[in-house]
Structures are given as C-alpha cells and as structure tokens.
Structure 1
Amino acid sequence: MLGALFLFVLLDATAKHLARSYPVPMLVWARYTVHFVLMLALLAPTLRGRLVSTARPARQVVRALCLLAVTFFGMAALARMPLAETTAILFAAPLLVTLLARPLLGEEIGALRWMAVLTGFVGVLLIARPGGGLVTEGVLLALAGAVSYAFYQILTRQLTATESPVTMLFYTALVGTAAMTPLLPWIWSGPLPDFGDALLIASLGIYGGTGHFLLIRAFRDAPASTLSPILYVQLAWATLVGWLAFGDFPDGLAFAGIVVIGCAGAMIALHSRGARRAR
C-alpha cells in the first residue's frame, strides 16, 4: 500500500512538471496507453480471455470513465495549483462516498460519520478559501476530480464482489486508451518531447499501472479496514514532494485544512473498520 501511494505521488508530481510544456489531454492519453501496453505485454499471454471476461461490462466501462475523469481533472488542477492542496481536495472523495453510500449502497450513516464529513468539508474550505492564493479554476477542477473519484470508488465497491481485480484494472487501461486515442490528432500539440521528456511521459503509465497493481495486491493480502487509514499517508508525501520538487508549501490555514481532511477521512476509515469488526 505504501509503495502504491508513493507511486501515485510521483505520478502527480511528474504530470505537474510536464504540464508546464505539454497539453494535459496528451499526458492523460500517454498515462493510459502505456498502462494498456504494459498489461497486454505482461498479462495477456497468460490470462488471455480471462483478462476481459466480465459479467458486468457496462458498469466496468462507466467505472473506467470515472477514473479517466479523475485523471483529467486531477492533472488539469495540478497544472494550476500546488501538489499538496490539489491532493487534499481530491481526498474529499471519501467524504462524498459517505454521503452517497446511503442512496447508492444502502449503508447507514451514523452520527460519527456525519461529524467526520462536516469536519472534512471545513478542511476543504480552509484550503479553497477566498484570498488563499489558489486559482478558482484549479479548485473547481480538483472538486470535479473528487466527485468523479467518489463515483469511481462506489462503482469499485459494487464490482469487487463479482469481478476480478486484474480485469477491473485492465478495463481502466482499455477504456482510457480507447477514449483518448481517437482525439490524439487534436490533443497532440506543443513541442515534440526530447528523449528525457519522452521517458517522463512514459513513466506516467508505469507509475499509474504499477501503483494500481500494488494497490490490488495490498487489498488481496490485507483487510480493507486495515489498509484504508493508511491511504492518508499520501497527503503527507504530496506535501513533502511538492515542497522538495516545486518549492510549494501550504500556508498555515491551508496546511490546517490538509490535516483536517486527513483526520476526517481516517476517522471514517477507522469507524468503518470498527463496524466491520462488530459485525
């Protein structure tokens, strides 16, 4: 899990660096295409038809499109905002999942989880407050990414009972590549990448594909209730990498907002863990 989270931070930091010179849709295309090619090369020879075999193809496609939206909105936000603040707003997704869990999943929301949701949204307001120095367009893009991420997580919960994790991972790569490749003549603009930038662009797919593979392995080898609180280590690493790589460090209120979001999400994760143990 920790390895997956670190790769996701590297993915975001690399995308932020590349977005200074290349259009975001081109980077999104590269992230999914390299991921897709890697899965074909490494898994297709052994898994063959099992790689695409699914009982719920329509829901697999919708889930993959939600992750594609997360990637696009997230990279677009990173091009406009610091790494730590963007990551923190995207991490509002578990709070939205809690709100949507009752109508979409039939889950009960207790008082503690309601308190955690309200606390987390206070954290978002501390980061995105007027006068905080963040670009409004970037904040809106990050919030759109959080909403997309929430629906992606809900669809993932619905599919995990019947679908293979590797198949779910393959569909995210397949759908992302299929959706972005026809747009390539319109989104490929700017300078041709030199060898160094080409390696960085290819690394987006390596970070994303390997990170999600490690995530799947983590959830196979340990209970979700154990792993969920660890997800918020990514906030700490995003803050550290943003400071080291770009010289960006949140001001006092924004840093407090990041901590509040992390605590609220961890509270929800720990509460869910206790509820599972009780059942």
Structure 2
Amino acid sequence: MTGQDLPAALSHQPETRRTRLIAIGLMCAAVICFSALDTSAKWLGHGMDPLQVVFARYAGSMILVSLLLNPWSHPGILHTRRPWLQAFRSLLLLGSTALNFFALQYLQLAETVSIMFATPLLVALVSGPLLGEWPGPRRMVAIGIGFLGVIVVARPGVGGMHPAALLSVISVFCYAFYSLSTRILAAYDPPETTMVYSGAAGTIAMIPVIPFVWTWPDGLSWGLMIFAGAMGGIGHWLLILAHRLAPATVLAPFIYSQIIWMIALGYLVFGQLPDRWTFIGAAIVIASGLYLLYRERVRAVPEGSARLD
C-alpha cells in the first residue's frame, strides 16, 4: 500500500470495523441457534427415533427457507451448474446431522461439540490432496495436537465416554467433506441456491424413512420439532449473512463460543456438566484451531502491506 493510499484506507477503518462487528454478531447468533437445535434434538431423542428429529429439522428448515428463497422472489435460484456435487454435499450434511443426533442420545452437549470442533483440523489436513492447499510443518503439528485433544475428549478404550463418541467422530468426517464441497460449489453457485438444495435434499431423502420410525408427538414435542427446524434454517441463514460482511478468517474464531452455550444449556436443561477431561480436550482442540486460523491470516497478508485489522 502506498503512502497516498494509506489515508483513504484509514478513513474506511471505522466503517470496516462496524461491518465486521455486525458480522461477528451474526456469527454468534448463528451458533446460539445451532446450540438450541442440538438441545432440542437431544430432548426429543429421549422419546422418539432420532431420524424423526432429523426429518423435523430438515422439513422445518426447508419450509422456512422456501418462504424467503423461492423461484418467485429469486428467479433462477434452483439453477445449479453442479447438480451432482449439490446432491453429494447435501447428503454429507444429512449424514453428519443424523450421526450427531444419534450421538446426542448418549453424550452431553459439550462432549459432542468438543469433538465437532475438530472439523477445521480435518479440513486443513485433507485440503492438500483435494484442493492443493498443503499445510506447512507448523500447521501439521497444530493439526496433530488438535486430534490429540479429540482423543482426550473421547478417551477411546479407557471407559471414559460412551461408544457413541465414535458417531460424533464419523460426523466430523462427513462435515469436513461437506465444508470442502461447499468451498468448491462457491465458485459455481450462489450461497442461496446451495442453501435451498441443502434443505430440500435432506427432506426428500428422509421421506421414505419416516413411515418406519414415526411416532405421534405430543404438544411439547411438536413445538420442539418446529423449533428445531426453525433454528437450523435461521442459523444457516445467519451464517450466509455473516460471511457476506466479513471474511471467514475473521468469523471462524467465534464459532468456538458455541462451547459456552452448550455447557450452559446442558446444565440448565439436562443438569449435566462436562468432566475435566472434556474441558482439557476441548481447550486443546480450540487452541489448535485458533492457531490454524492465525497461520491462515499470516499467510493471507502480503509482506510489507498495511494491516487494517
């Protein structure tokens, strides 16, 4: 940046900071929605098949999204240049959601989200062979330490956590490849199109399953099913709005604020508090993820350029 450009850049700092603060607020609101969604799913999972909860989550989200995004208000929104990739991405998200809801039957909210925090680590690891974005040695060390944190949370083979933790681990793999496919699709389709396909594909895929798992809900369960669908749809919509206002490297650290809401809701709704190993493992995973984000920011800033954030 030249000396002549610097005053102009500095004049835009307040506006830029305000926009980023709004984006951060939207991101924090999104993770609150997702925490409420998981809390509802865990509650409903005690009285109905988790697949019925999955259907409620997608059907409710699809209805809500259709009110905002449809061919009449957004002509051409259903047009996609990569239909098979859209379908594959949607099924990955569906699989991740279903596995997470099954795991929530047996695990605490804080335990499942601590394992899910490993998603950015896995994305960074597989981005090399899939996207050519190879992590350097320091990032590889951070990824390895992060996965050790997941092992601390799950404690496989030592009787510390229910075997359902394996479902959360598989869910992480599904979500990581879902995230990668989302990045690829961003070059071909607008985010609104991708969001519409996510809800529609998940709902359609669950329709043949529902007759075999359906149990008639009571009033509270109906309310929670509708609430879960709304939280899923609103949460993803807030994510889209946030990423329009600020880059992912600014927003990503605030994803980890979800652990606060999951611990609070786990205690208030279910009377559960995570043990010390969950806290330790979550801290390791979060620290590793934040370091990866820091390295990403360092790589993104050209040497010698002025930094405005």
The gaps in structure 1 that reach 5 residues or longer are: none
Instruction: Write out per-residue CA displacement over residues 226-267 of structure 1, whole angstroms, 9 at most, x where no aligned residue.
Output: 111111111222122212221221211221001111111111
Q: Is the 8 A contact 2:69 2:192 kept in 1?
A: no
Structure 1 CA distance for aligned equivalents of residues 294 and 191 of structure 2: 24
Partners of 1:16 and 1:75 lie apart in 2 by 7
The secondary structure found in structure 1 opposite 2:208 is: helix
Contact 1:63 1:152 in 2 (8 A): yes
Paired position in structure 2 for 1:214:
238
Residue 182 of structure 1 aligns to a residue in which SS? coil
> What residue number does 2:302 align with?
278
Cα distance 1:249–1:132, how it changes in 2: closer, same or farther (>3 A)?
farther
Residue in structure 2 matched with residue 135 of structure 1 by the alignment: 162
Give 1:48 shift: 4.6
Q: Is 1:34 matched with 2:60?
A: yes
**Which of 255, 259, 269 is 2:283 aligned to?**
259
For 2:185 and 2:117, locate their aligned partners in 1 and report how far apart those are by CA, in whole Å.
21
Which secondary structure does the structure 2 equivalent of 1:51 belong to? coil
* TM-score, normalization by structure 2: 0.86
CA distance in 2, matches of 1:64, 1:150: 13
Q: Is the 8 A contact 1:235 1:262 kept in 2?
A: no
**C-alpha contact (below 8 Å) 2:71/2:78 kept by paired residues:** no
Partner of residue 202, structure 1: 226
Structure 1 or 2: more helix by fraction: 1
Partners of 2:159 and 2:247 in 1: CA distance:
39
Alignment deviations for residues 13-64 of structure 1 (CA, whole Å, 9 cap, x no partner) = 1100110001000000111011111222232164354221111111011001
Per-residue CA deviation, residues 163-193 of structure 1 (Å, 9 max, x unaligned), is: 111111111001001100121111213xx21
Instruction: Give distance in 1, aligned partners of 2:93 and 2:199.
Output: 10
* 1:89 and 2:115 aligned: yes
Partner amino acid for 2:160? G
Corresponding position of 1:10: 36
1:223 paired to 2:253: no
The answer to whether 1:179 aligns with 2:205 is: yes
Question: Which deviates further from its counterpart, 244-253 or 14-23?
Answer: 244-253
Take 1:253 and 1:182, find their aligned partners in 2: how far apart are those partners?
40
**Partners of 2:114 and 2:278 within 8 A in 1:** no
| 1:63-78 correspondence runs (5 A) | 63-78=89-104
For 1:99, the equivalent position in structure 2 comes to: 125
Q: Which runs of 5+ in 2 are unaligned?
A: 1-26, 304-309
Matched, 1:80 2:119: no
Q: CA RMSD in A?
A: 1.4
Tell me which structure has the larger Cα radius of gyration. Answer: 2
- Residue of structure 1 in register with 2:272 after alignment: 248
Read off the aligned partner of 1:263 and give its amino acid letter. Answer: A
Matched, 1:119 2:148: no
* Partner residue in 2 for 1:157: 183
The SS at the match of 1:62 is helix
Cα distance in 2 for partners of 1:98, 1:43 equals 32
Letter in 1 for 2:214: W
> Any idea what SS the aligned residue of 2:243 has?
helix
Aligned amino acid, residue 243 of structure 1? Y
C-alpha separation between the residues in 1 aligned to 2:63 and 2:295? 39
Q: Is the 8 A contact 1:232 1:265 kept in 2?
A: no
SS in 2 for 1:162: coil
Q: TM-score, normalised by structure 1?
A: 0.95
Q: In structure 1, how many angstroms separate the alpha carbons of the residues matched to 2:268 and 2:140?
A: 36
Partner SS, residue 73 of structure 2: helix
- Separation in 2, partners of 1:163, 1:207: 24
Q: Residue in 2 aligned with 1:58?
A: 84
Distance across 1 between alignment mates of 2:167 and 2:178: 16
Measure how far apart 1:210 and its partner are.
Answer: 0.3
Q: Quick one: distance in 1 between partners of 2:264 and 2:37?
A: 14
Contact residue 232 and residue 266 of structure 1 kept, 8 A: no
What are the superposed Cα offsets for residues 103-152 of structure 1, whole Å, 9 maximum, x if unpaired?
A: 0010021122111111111111111114453111x111001100000100
Provide the aligned length of Structure 1 versus Structure 2: 276
Q: Structure 1 residues 252, 149: CA separation in 2 closer, same or farther (over 3 Å shift)? A: same
